[in-house]
Copies of this chain bind each other. A is one copy, B any other.
Amino acid sequence: MTTDEKFMRQALLEAEKALWAEEVPIGAVIVLKDKIIARGYNQTEMLNDCTAHAEMIALTSAFNFLGSKYLPDAALYVTIEPCLMCAGALYWSKMGRVIYGADDEKNGYKKTTGKISPFHPKTKITAGLLHEECKKLIKDFFKQRRK
């Protein structure tokens, strides 16, 4: 297992926490120097706040932990392509790397930004890591809900 896969599996664990809480299962972790410094999962229902995405929760947690509002040396792993809001938040954070699993055709940032990257120019993006597992969690969730 590569290091990236190892951390994406942790993001998947966060997504499973969301699933248990009957939230859309998306999870994220933020890694600095090979250590997880923050975790987050989608809590929009629980907090009654449509901005409480996994990435936003992990970001605020990382800022608090480090006492810094920029994370140029950190990496954020998230199971699904960030939405426009989360991409904008990652821009402000100057995140070093963003690694995401499955594309989100409906609400992913690429739908709106097209070829223009919404991220900080120094942010490196890796897409598609463990995308099948990441997507399956979401698909199964919505299939179950429609029953």
A binding-site residues for B, Cβ under 8 Å: 44, 47-51, 56, 59-60, 63-64, 67-70, 83-89, 91-93, 112-114, 116, 118
Contact pick for A89, options B51, B60, B113, CB 8 Å: B51
A44 to B94, CA, bound (A): 14
8 shortest interchain CB distances as A-B pairs: A85-B88, A84-B88, A50-B92, A50-B69, A49-B63, A85-B89, A51-B89, A48-B69
A114 to B48, CA, bound (A): 31
A69 to B114, CA, bound (A): 28
Tell me, rounded to whole Å, the shortest Cβ–Cβ distance linking A64 to chain B. Answer: 7
Q: Which residues of B contact A114 (CB under 8 A)?
A: 114, 116
Tell me, rounded to whole Å, the shortest Cβ–Cβ distance linking A65 to chain B. Answer: 10
Residue among A63, A84, A86 having the largest count of chain B Cβ atoms under 10 Å: A84
Residue ID in chain B nearest A67 by CB atoms:
B48
